Amino acid sequence: MTAIVTRNPLADGADWPAGPSELADFHHRMPAYAPTMLFDAPGLAERFGVGRVVVKAETKRMGLPSFKILGASWATYQAICEHIGREPEPWTNINELAANLAFLKPFKLATATDGNHGRAVSFMARLLGFECHIFVPSGMVHARINAMEREGSTVTVVDGDYDDAVARAGEEASDTCLIVSDTSWPGYETIPAQVVEGYATIFCEVDDALDASGMARPDLVVIPMGVGAFMAAAVTHYRSGAERPIIVGVEPIDANCVQASALAGEMTHVGGPHRSIMVGLNCGLPSMTAWPRLRSGIDWLVATDDDSARQGMRDLADIAVAAGETGAACLAGFDALMSDAVAKAELPDLSDSTILLVVTEGATDPGAFEEIVGRRPESVGRVLTAVS
Ligand SMILES: Cc1ncc(COP(=O)(O)O)c(C=O)c1O
């Protein structure tokens, strides 16, 4: 395993304001909304010598194989409200919302993606009866492109990397096309901030599940990072309440833009090619919107390699979680943190602590999953010990 483990020299533990209170009600009105499973992994706790490891499995969220729909749905809704200058007529479910917004048609959503965010935006567009145009970097596997096309989206492969796809998607903005991007650039900051807001539901669900079973809130949380929008949601949640867990961010070793930025003291571009199998994390630049929270709230930064992601997938499959490559990054990163001599010496004693790993993605490329894990994703067993 090759890894770079560093403290965040910019961490200041500052408070951040909590997210919007209407979020839970909004997500409850989305189709097939239900909290995802949080479950106990006693084998992992024993392996790492910690009190408890809980795994939040975002392998199936509203029928999609990642958490991204939480941010995409909320940001799309907020962007539409802003576009029409008001809330839509009252609605209780997505069909009513689609009917109330039909007057906008023909109408389009667009974004760049390295997979999951684009699929989530495609899903929202289909539910609302809108068109959708998705821009992807070259080299994206067909399974991910097909998934977006099956939602009815037009997918354009951009000759370049994720950052080039972001630039191309931005050109689509018009009176009849909303860009719903999870990363930001100068002048485009509101919608990415709303994507971040939408992710908060995950952490509220974790609190609810732990509280319901009388278990302690986490002492250390491990979050994968691409542009850092998801991490920004973690920082908002865990730096706005009474509990202040240690926050650990994980990136691929050749796309460690948050780590490089923290060490440089300012947002820093990490050049490509970004070819990690943790494709959702192949980003060269942190999101501008996320950066203030990233620099302030993250305690430890871990850059890890593809072999550890593969091992993470196998280890998670052993505890009944069929995680994709990106989904396994949190376990790979936690393993690297606990194997690092400096981190071990500087971290507090974790032997009674609760560790939260967020597995952000299911097996989005079933062929690759089978090759790496040695069995098909659907053969991976069910949850062994449910927390709630
Ligand atoms: C499955 C998965 N996990 C984590 C991330 C990282 O999220 P962010 O780019 O907000 O850091 C992504 C981003 O695409 C993703 O698809």
Residue 308 has pLDDT above 90, yes or no: yes
User: Ligand 1: distance of its center to the CA of 265 in Å?
Assistant: 23
Note the pLDDT tens digit of each residue in 98-152: 999 999 999 999 999 988 999 999 999 999 999 999 999 998 989 889 999 999 9
User: Ligand 1: distance of its center to the CA of 50 in Å?
Assistant: 26
Atom of ligand 1 nearest to the CA of 58: 1
Residue 383 has pLDDT above 50, yes or no: no
- Closest residue to atom 3 of ligand 1, CA basis: 360
Residue 219 has pLDDT above 80, yes or no: yes
For CA atoms 46, 354, 14, 294, the dihedral sign is positive
42 neighbors 386 (Cβ within 8 angstroms): no
CA distances from 174 to 148, 156, 159, 177 (A): 22, 18, 23, 5
pTM, two decimal places: 0.95
User: Ligand 1: distance of its center to the CA of 225 in Å?
Assistant: 6
Ligand 1 interacting residues, C-beta cut-off 6 A = 66, 68, 114-117, 182, 224-231, 280-281, 326-327, 360-361
78 neighbors 191 (Cβ within 8 angstroms): yes
Backbone angles phi, psi at 33, to 5 degrees: -70, 135
Cβ within 8 Å of residue 364, ≥6 positions away? 65, 66, 115, 116, 143, 144, 147, 324, 326
Which of 69, 116, 203, 235 for a ligand 1 pocket mutation test, highest count of atoms within 8 Å of Cβ? Answer: 116
Q: Determine the Cα–Cα distance for residues 286 and 10; give it in Å rounded to an integer.
A: 15
CA distances from 37 to 11, 320, 385 (A): 31, 12, 10
User: Ligand 1: distance of its center to the CA of 251 in Å?
Assistant: 10
User: Ligand 1: distance of its center to the CA of 130 in Å?
Assistant: 24
Among the listed residues 176, 172, 177, 125, the one whose alpha carbon sits nearest the alpha carbon of residue 151: 125
pLDDT at 326: 97
Which of 61, 68, 293 for a ligand 1 pocket mutation test, highest count of atoms within 8 Å of Cβ? Answer: 68
